[in-house]
Amino acid sequence: MEPDDTLREALRLAVDPPGGVSIEALRELARDDDATAWDVATTAAHLGVNPHTLRYYERIGLVCVPRDGAGHRRYDAAAVRRLLFLVRMRTSGMSISDLRHYVDLVDADRDTVNERMDMLLEHRDTLRSQIAQLQLALAATEYKIATYREGPRP
Amino acid sequence: MEPDDTLREALRLAVDPPGGVSIEALRELARDDDATAWDVATTAAHLGVNPHTLRYYERIGLVCVPRDGAGHRRYDAAAVRRLLFLVRMRTSGMSISDLRHYVDLVDADRDTVNERMDMLLEHRDTLRSQIAQLQLALAATEYKIATYREGPRP
DNA sequence: CTAGAGGTGTGAGCGCACTCGAAGGCAAGC
DNA sequence: GCTTGCCTTCGAGTGCGCTCACACCTCTAG
B41-57 pLDDT, tens digit per residue, is: 999 999 999 999 999 99
Contact between B56 and B24 (Cβ < 8 Å)? no
Q: What is the pLDDT of residues B113-130, one digit of tens each?
A: 999 999 999 999 999 989
Instruction: Please determine, for residue A144, whether its predicted confidence score (pLDDT) is greater than 80.
Output: yes
A102 domain residue, yes or no: no
CB contact under 8 A, A113 and B88: no
A153 domain residue, yes or no: yes
Specify whether B79 is located in the same domain as B124.
no
pLDDT computed for residue A145 by the predictor: 92
A101 domain residue, yes or no: no
In the beta sheet, which residues pair with residue A38?
A75
Q: What is the pLDDT of residues B3-52, one digit of tens each?
A: 444 334 333 433 344 444 555 666 666 565 555 789 999 999 999 999 99
Specify whether B69 is located in the same domain as B32.
yes
Question: Averaged over A107-133, what is the pLDDT?
Answer: 91
Strand D contacted by A49 CB (< 7 A): yes
| A57 sits in which H/E element | helix A51-59
Cα–Cα distances in angstroms (integers) from residue A105 to residues A27, A112, B11, B75, in the given order: 24, 6, 38, 48
Q: What is the CA radius of gyration of chain B?
A: 20
Specify whether A67 is located in the same domain as A135.
no
Specify whether A127 is located in the same domain as A60.
no
Instruction: Please determine, for residue A133, whether its predicted confidence score (pLDDT) is greater than 90.
Output: no
Tell which of A106, A141, A145 to mutate to test the B interface (max B CBs under 10 Å).
A141
The CATH code of the domain that includes B9 is 1.10.1660.10
Specify whether A90 is located in the same domain as A112.
no
Nucleotide closest to A71 measured between CA and C1': C8
Rounded to the nearest 10°, the torsion over CA A137, B65, B28, B124 is -10
Strand C contacted by A41 CB (< 7 A): yes
Query: No. of H helices and E strands in chain B?
Result: 7, 0
Q: What is the pLDDT of residues B75-105, one digit of tens each?
A: 999 999 999 999 999 999 999 999 999 999 9
CB contact under 8 A, A137 and B89: yes
Closest partner CB to A91 (pick from B17, B127, B137)? B137
A123 domain residue, yes or no: yes
pLDDT, greater one: A11 or B43: B43
pLDDT computed for residue A119 by the predictor: 93
Domain boundary residue, one of B87, B107, B127: B107
Closest partner CB to B124 (pick from A120, A133, A141)? A141
Closest partner CB to B134 (pick from A127, A141, A145)? A127
Q: What angle do CA A35, A37, A38 make, to 5 degrees?
A: 150
Total domain count for chain A?
2
Q: CA-to-CA distance for A96 and A81, rounded, in angstroms?
A: 17
Cβ neighbours of B42 (radius 10 Å): 19
Instruction: Determine the residue type at A19.
Output: G
Domain that holds residue A151: 108-154
